[in-house]
Structure 1
Amino acid sequence: MARKTTASDVARLAGVSASTVDRVLNNRGGVTEAREKAVLAAARRLGLDRALNQRAARTLRIAVMTQPPSNPFHAAIQRGFEQANRSYPQFNMQFRLHHIDPARGGQTARRIAGLAANHDGIVIVSAYDADIAAALSVFTEAGKPVITLATDMPGLESHRYIGPDNYSAGRLAGTLMGRFLGREGGAVMAIAGMFNMVGQQERVSGFQAVLRERHPACHMEAVQESLEQGERAGELVYQALRRNPSLRGVYNASAGAQPVVEALKALGRQDVVFITHELTPEYRSLLKAGLIDAIIDQDPAQEVRTAVETLGAHFGRAEQPPASLITPVHIHLIENC
């Protein structure tokens, strides 16, 4: 009969003392992160079952920086991390939410600097800003994980991006627009939330590229910026249609579906093809009513789960990291909403 694995075996494999193993496996605390990680890895390799789902001793504090929940996507991200605080007790990670203004990069950078000393990692959904990237580097240089969620931060080294392939998502939107408009094509406008939000840039670029390549009868009338303000998105569409009544398609890569629908209604232009992102309950209702033609959803709950499991693996509290950090997108039409 095979000999039962003991704490002494774990100690030898991890290169620590038996008392350190006891502290980690029995949640007694007082162990550095590196030694805790080594003990958990050794316990898993040796198949010590009680180490696999135990609650790690030291509580890890993870800052989550996102826009206020008035933006539907960011509201979903917030709900996901609030749920994660309850759903992953074995990781013993505390996700602390911080709301940021996407137009005030300097203020966000200062807040990041203030969090670095008392947080073990950070997850951020933010437009690109050189000051923000520099502030995040304080985390990475200290060996603390940085995750950019949904949209990346160019120039930042040693971090992980988790989210969709936004360029491909934009190409999906362009393909749908071209198919809906058919051979006749026509004028189309696109709205980005913020031009310095990398994910928004990539979506609009992908959208434009596929129209040029496969649907030349569809031509871009304008690419405009809503500044992540839903009401502004609606006003941009209203003014564009007033200037050019022949406009046949609207692609909104950010928030503001309801105001866009209201603008189309006010001008009696429900014939305009409208494609947007994020399947919120409100947007689902608009899709069912035929007021949105297609929604491309990036599944923020999946993004949050991937982020949490990536952090768990980084700290040695999960056996394996997620298979992929690029999360899928889903197309929703009236038939499958």
Structure 2
Amino acid sequence: MNSQDLQSNATLKDVAAAAGVSLATVDRVINGRPGVSDKTTRKVNDAIERLNFHPLAAAAELARSRPCRFAVLLPRGDNRFMADIADNIRAQAAWFRARRIAVEIIETNVFDADTLAAELAALTGRFEGAAVVALDHPRIRAAIDDLVESGMAVVTLVSDVPSSRRAHYVGIDNIAAGRTAGSLIGRFLGGRSGRVGVVTGSAALRDHAERLFGFGQVIAEEHPGLSLLPPVEGRDDPQQNRALVARLLADAPDLVALYNTGEGAAGIGAALADAGAARRILCVGHELTPDSRRLLLDGTFAALVVQDPGHEARSMARVLRALVSGRPILPAQEQIRVEVILRDNLP
């Protein structure tokens, strides 16, 4: 965190302005008083969530807690979605500072089990809590378990390791996200037959594997005219994805659709443009980034299945603080939604 990240805490007035209601209405919602419609209550609660507003939380926290440190392990590289999560974490500097929490973002190679396990081991004794975008691998499970055994609160972020002793997973239901992508491709194709290519970051990342599983379920159950090609792994790298898709196009002349389970959309778009296949091959991918936005706008991608990086960053912070301080986690507040973005509803 640097001084540019520091900002004042949100106030009741800020919440009222964001929700478009009066201060009195915000006060009634916060204190559970009657006389506010469900629609207005939702608007106020949404504003509270966006602004990370916690009335009197800072003073109460300072009175009863000691300083603590959180580590957040994110993929190194050009993954714009992960960069958005990092940016949203930095934007919470005032929230962390008011609660005497120091946060260190550590970028590493999450695709390599040895590298990631070594980074996790190095956290021991330095932090009270950690969030990690985790590879689902025996060494990573063991490293997480060792951290928990040492007394650290550990959560997984975006990609889970459910067989580990991690305390909580912050992210979407990735099987549902994959099924959503499968339904979109099947419906957009409108009964056409042919082969469907899949570009994935890594089958060892559980979010990608679960998306692929859900996607395959829907294609097999509901669209018998479509056959899935074996997935190709590009590690979310645009250049690798470009080469992989160029090979798919050359090897499968009956290719009708492409599904990208992760990042690197720019490479897929470039390969389709190189082959003159943009807008002829139906494409569905994940996450709204500058590259995927451009490809959605020009028609290369038909739809994106997305999650809110801001919600994930805020949820990660709340969950770690709750675990370290012994407070309850509110499941409804921490549920990350699966959303569909088309060119027509781009935010």
Provide the TM-score with structure 1 as the length reference.
Answer: 0.80
Pairing partner for 2:292 from 257, 261, 283: 283
Structure 1 residues not aligned, in runs of 5+ = 1-47
Match of 1:58 in 2: 66
- Choose from 320, 328, 335 the match for 2:337: 328
> Of 119, 140, 162, which residue of structure 1 is paired with 2:170?
162
Aligned Cα RMSD in Å? 2.2
- Deviation (angstroms), 1:51: 5.0
Counterpart-to-counterpart distance in 1, 2:68 and 2:200: 36
**Structure 1 residues 123-202: aligned runs within 5 Å:** 123-202=131-210
User: Could you say which residue in structure 1 is the equivalent of 2:211?
Assistant: 203
When structure 1 is superposed on structure 2, of 136-145 and 242-251 the one drifting more is 136-145
* Residue number in structure 1 paired with 2:271: 263
Q: In 1, are the aligned partners of 2:144 and 2:166 still within 8 Å (CA)?
A: no
Shift, 1:151, TM fit? 0.8
Alpha-carbon distance in 1 for matches of 2:68, 2:79: 28
CA drift of 1:53 comes to 6.0
Supply the distance in 2 between the matched residues of 1:55 and 1:239 (Cα, whole angstroms). Answer: 61
Moved more, 223-232 or 185-194: 223-232
Give the whole-Å Cα distance in 2 for the aligned partners of 1:126 and 1:157.
Answer: 13
Matched residue type, 1:293: A
* 1:89 match: secondary structure: helix
* Aligned residues of 2:128 and 2:324 also touching (Cα < 8 A): no
Residue 236, structure 1, aligned to residue 244, structure 2? yes
- Work out the CA distance in 1 between the residues paired with 2:311 and 2:336: 7
Paired amino acid for 1:254: G
Q: Does 1:297 align with 2:306?
A: yes
Moved more, 229-238 or 49-58: 49-58
Instruction: Tell me which amino acid in the other structure corresponds to 2:339.
Output: H
Task: Indicate if the aligned counterparts of 2:75 and 2:108 stay in contact, CA closer than 8 A.
Answer: yes
**Alpha-carbon distance in 1 for matches of 2:336, 2:191:** 33
What amino acid maps onto 1:286 in structure 2? L
Instruction: State, as a whole percentage, how many aligned pairs show the same letter.
Output: 30
Q: Larger C-alpha radius of gyration, 1 or 2?
A: 1
Shift of 1:324: 5.0
Give per-residue Cα distances to partners, 1:134-181, cap 9 Å, x unaligned: 122122123321110111114212521110000000000000000111
* Structure 2 equivalent of residue 118 of structure 1: 126
Q: Structure 1 residues 118 and 252 mapped into 2: Cα distance closer, same or farther (>3 Å)?
A: same
* Amino acid in structure 2 at the alignment position of 1:298: Q
Q: Which runs of 5+ in 2 are unaligned?
A: 1-55
How many Å separate the matches in 1 of 2:133 and 2:188?
32
1:309 touches 1:322 (CA, 8 Å); kept in 2?
A: no
Look up the SS of the partner of 1:87 in the other structure: helix
* Cα-to-partner distance string for 1:267-322 (whole Å, 9 max, x where unaligned): 11121001111101232122112121111111111111111111222233867635
- Aligned AA (2:271): A
Question: Is this contact kept in 1: 2:110–2:133, CA < 8 A?
Answer: no
Residue number in structure 1 paired with 2:226: 218
CA deviations 1:248-267 (Å, max 9, x no partner) are 10000011111111111111
Deviation of 1:118 (Å): 1.4
Count of residues in correspondence between the two structures: 291
